[in-house]
Structures are given as structure tokens and as C-alpha cells.
Amino acid sequence: MNTDVIVVGAGPAGMMLAGELRLAGVEVVVLERLERPTGESRGLGFTARTMEVFDQRGLLPRLPHFELSNVGHFGGLPLDFGQVQGAHFAGKTLPQSDTEAMLAGWAPGPGVTFRRGWECVALAADDDGVTAEIQGPGGSREELRAKYLVGCDGGRSTVRKAAGFDFPGTAASMEMFLADLRGTDVRPRMIGESYPGGMVMATPPTNGVQRFIVCERGTLPKRRTTPIEFGEISDAWKRLTGEDISHAEPVWLSSFGNATRQATEYRRGRVLLAGDAAHIHLPAGGLGMNTSIQDAVNLGWKLAAQVHGWAPEGLLDSYHGERHRIGQRLLMNTQAQGLLFLSGDEVQPMRDLFTELIGYDVVAEHLIGMISGLEIRYDVGEGDHPLLGKRMPNRKVATATGPRPLYELMHTARPVLLDATGDAELQRTAAPWTDRVDVVSAPFTGLAGDDPLTGTAAVLVRPDGYIAWTAPGSAAGLEDALGRWFGAPRPAAGDRS
């Protein structure tokens, strides 16, 4: 083998996956067909769950200044994220290019090789690995062999097509324009604004640049062979709003549609998909980049376990089992938002109904949980703890060096078994897994009486931050949970069986 894993694509999903695999000691080659980053920024912010993921890896200090906001929307209908603890929409003015630059500085390290200007043009998988034919500058070609290959190469994924993944869904029925402009003074419309002929959005200026999104109803997608012209965008903006932005300086222009598709499987033997290669949709609320990053974090530790040989049966398949459902909800969510936001007067009764329903806390909290990513709950086995299968909140624990946020213990992307009571039985049970699991004896500190972790004796947190087991007052069930997620125990010293 030339390497353990080939990652095709150096966007947010590919870079995040490369970093996760590096932390797990896996050798990785990242292929990126572009010789240098474009600087384009389709995504402009992070959900609360993605911010937690970055915090779990110590990445937040690497990001430029960003804003936290409680202002959000569902299909253009305002939502107050502040009514759900921790569910802010974060980094709303942070361009995707800054995110990619941050990940490009974090992901490289021992065992990770980046090859810019190289793309995968063909592949062949067998029972032992994957052979990729790659093409580089000047048309030079090579073959690269790996145990696994992951396509993170976007909505037009070469990997998906070459490996024969089915990608059903619906084609685009409309076209929208996106423009980053300098030299404008247009009133911000952060959650969008409807007009008789369509919808527009505009962000507040950031470093002198404003982002504009324009959707005119009835505009069918064009098969473009040349870049979109700024005049097409400025004319559409004026038709809808009456405002003239034709004097502005274009920084970046793009067009996109509302095509909605999802791969029927995220794994075919030795080939896997993550991010936009696995799912495309209307970019409502920037949820695509967030879902893609979380795909990578779910996959990384499972793929590393498979490479290192200790993965229990079915662990790698659980990537599809867990994330495909999340992708389905993403498509349902963005399609619903598109209908509410981009349709004409015929859906006004539906908008009115949604506006009324959002006034009920339980409905608003449900939608906020969906958009923020905090609603996700995986099937991790039996148990009645309210957080079982959900993401671990960043509570403080009392370590020997003083109180520390729990997420600081997760920077190495290893599972953490937090023993909050110093249970000797728990320590003995976990001992055979300490080559793969960090066991930390530290009580929670500063919990409120109604915190779901109050009275919890121990929690087992997977590397992706989800709780796989909680103590029911003893170590009962811990051995099964460790085996289910982290493989067979290490043989005892002197055991040659």
C-alpha cells in the first residue's frame, strides 16, 4: 500500500477528515484538483453543533473574529435561538474561505500528504484496497494505492460516479445568484426579504464586502459554459428591489440551483462518501458545510479504527447508518425552507400557518434543534439517561490542575470515559481498553440542579462527542459499550490465547 487512506477533495469535509485521521495516527494522502484555494466562500457561518466540534478539537482560537447570534430563521420566518440553551447560530460573518484556511493550517502533520493540482480520474476497488488513477499538472498520471478512499469532492463528485454510487433526487427547477460586492451601501436583509417577483438577501458589510443573494421566481436553470456576468445579477436585483448596485466592484460571483439529491449508500466496500459528494440541496442557512464537517468527524475515528484493526464488526457501516438519516433530514429541512421562502403567493397560507406554529415554544424549539444540529441523537443501545446518544455538553470537571472544560480533554480525538465518582469497579472494567480510551477521574463542577448531568456517575463519550454510555449507579453495561464501540479488550499480560 502507498498509504492508508486517500481523501479526494480539500474542502471543509476533506480537510476535517484528514485532520481527524492524522490525530488517530493514520497515513493520509489528500488530493485536490485545484492548485491553490479559490477564495470563494459559499458558506458564511456555523451552527452551534459545528462550533462545539471545533471546540472539541481546540480549533476555535484558530478562527478569525466571529460573531455569535441568536437571530435565525426557518424559511425566512424569524426564530429566536436564545430560547434553547447553547443553540446560537455562530460565526455568521465568517467566510468559508477563512474556515478552509484554518483547517488547512490544522490538518497537515505527520502522516498527511497534500497533493494540490492532482485529481482522481479513475479508481478500482477490491477486497484489499483501492487503486486510484490520478492526474496532475501537465497531464502526468500515476497510480496510488490505499486501504480506503473517501470522496469529499463535492456535488459533482468524480469518486461517486467512478465507484457507481446511486444519487437519486430531483433536478434544479430554479436558479439563484450569489455575489460578494465591494463599494455598496445596501440595507442588510440577513434572513432575506420577499418581493412580488422573488427573494433577496444582503449581509452587513464585512471588511467592505457585502454578500448578495437574488432569486427571481420563474428563472429556469441555465446550462452555463462561461462565468455569470455581474450585469445579470445587478439587473435582477434592481428588478426586484428597485435599488441600483451596478456601480459595485464584484469580488466573487456564482449561480446555483435547488437540485436535491442523496447517495443511497455512503459506503461501498473500500470507498466512502462524505459532505456534498453524498448530499446536495438548496443552500438554505448554510447547513451544507456544517453537515459536511460533521460527516467527517463521525467517519474519521471509525475509519481509523478499521485501518488499525481494532474496529468491532459493523462500526464502519455505522457511518452510513448514523449519517444517512441526518442527510435525509437535511434534504427535508432545506426543501421545506425553499418552499416557504422562494414560492409565490400560493404558499402564503402555509407561511401564515408556520408563523402561528412557531409561536408555540415546543415547535420553535424543535426547529431550532434541527437547524442548530443539537437535536441529533444516535442509537447507542439501551438506557434511559436523557443525554444517551446525544452530544456531550461542554461542562467543567474538577481535575488535579483545577476546573477544566470537558472539551479540552477531547483535543486528541480519542474517546473519553469520565469517572465522576472514583469508582474502582469502573476503573477495573475499563482497564483493558486504555490503549484506545482515555479514562479520566474527575467530578463535574458547577452543575445546576436541573442539569441532565447532575447525579451522573460516569459517561463514555465517543471521539465525535456523542455519549455512548452512562453509569446507572455502577459499571453495569460498561463492558458491553466499550466492546460495541471500541472493539475487543486488550489481552491481559501473559495471555497468549
Predicted pLDDT of residue 224? 81
Predicted pLDDT of residue 400? 84
Predicted pLDDT of residue 288? 86
* Phi, psi of 48, deg, nearest 5: -60, -40
Of 94-98, 241-245, 380-384, the range with the lowest mean pLDDT is 94-98
- Residue 231 and residue 145 in one domain: no
- Residue 56 and residue 138 in one domain: yes
- Residue 8 and residue 101 in one domain: yes
Say which CATH number the domain at 416 has: 3.40.30.120
Q: Which residue has the cell 440542579?
A: 449
Q: For all residues of the chain together, what is the average pLDDT? A: 91
- Residue 312 and residue 245 in one domain: no
Contact 93, 66 (CB under 8 A): yes
Residue 132: pLDDT over 90: yes
Mean pLDDT to the nearest integer, 332-359: 92
pTM: 0.94
Q: Does residue 212 lie within any of the structural domains?
A: yes
Mean pLDDT to the nearest integer, 432-452: 93
Q: Does residue 142 lie within any of the structural domains?
A: yes
Q: Which residue has the cell 462524505?
A: 274
Q: Which residues have C-beta within 8 Å of that of residue 360, sequence separation ≥ 6? A: none
Q: Select from 200, 231, 257 the last residue of a domain.
A: 257
List, for residues 242-268, the tens digit of each pLDDT value. Answer: 999 999 999 989 888 899 999 999 999
Of 66-70, 74-78, 208-212, the range with the lowest mean pLDDT is 66-70
Q: Does residue 302 lie within any of the structural domains?
A: yes
Predicted pLDDT of residue 41? 61
Say which CATH number the domain at 227 has: 3.30.70.2450
Separation between Cα atoms, residue 297 and residue 318, nearest integer Å: 13
Full domain range(s) for residue 441: 396-486
List, for residues 189-233, the tens digit of each pLDDT value. Answer: 887 888 889 999 998 887 888 989 999 988 888 888 788 999 999
- Residue 180 and residue 120 in one domain: no
380 or 472: which leads in pLDDT: 380
pLDDT band at residue 439 under the 50/70/90 scheme: very high
Beta strands in 184-274 (DSSP E): 189-195, 198-202, 209-216, 249-257, 260-262, 267-268, 271-273
Q: Does residue 413 lie within any of the structural domains?
A: yes
Q: Does residue 417 lie within any of the structural domains?
A: yes
Q: Does residue 381 lie within any of the structural domains?
A: no
Separation between Cα atoms, residue 338 and residue 213, nearest integer Å: 14
Q: Which three cell numbers stand for residue 197?
A: 417577483
100 or 464: which leads in pLDDT: 464
pLDDT band at residue 497 under the 50/70/90 scheme: very low
Say which CATH number the domain at 78 has: 3.50.50.60
Which of 79, 312, 267 is CA-nearest to residue 163?
267
Residue 76, SS3 per DSSP: coil
- Residue 287 and residue 415 in one domain: no
Angle formed by the axes of helices 12-23 and 96-106, to 10°?
20
- Residue 143 and residue 219 in one domain: no
Predicted pLDDT of residue 495? 57
- Residue 163 and residue 280 in one domain: yes
Predicted pLDDT of residue 218? 81
Q: Which three cell numbers stand for residue 386?
A: 436523557
Contact 146, 124 (CB under 8 A): no
List, for residues 467-492, the tens digit of each pLDDT value. Answer: 999 997 778 899 999 999 999 998 86
Mean pLDDT to the nearest integer, 327-350: 92
Q: Does residue 387 lie within any of the structural domains?
A: no
Residue 88: pLDDT over 70: no
Q: Does residue 88 lie within any of the structural domains?
A: yes
Of 406-415, 433-442, 453-462, 467-476, the range with the lowest mean pLDDT is 467-476
Domain count, the chain: 3
- Residue 267 and residue 249 in one domain: no
Residue 63: pLDDT over 80: yes
- Residue 13 and residue 142 in one domain: yes
Q: Select from 187, 222, 257 the last residue of a domain.
A: 257
- Residue 265 and residue 253 in one domain: no
- Residue 414 and residue 426 in one domain: yes
Q: Select from 209, 226, 257 the last residue of a domain.
A: 257
Residue 57: pLDDT over 80: yes
What is the identity of the amino acid at 282?
L
Separation between Cα atoms, residue 440 and residue 269, nearest integer Å: 36
Predicted pLDDT of residue 1? 65
Mean pLDDT to the nearest integer, 400-410: 92
Predicted pLDDT of residue 449? 83
Separation between Cα atoms, residue 51 and residue 392, nearest integer Å: 13
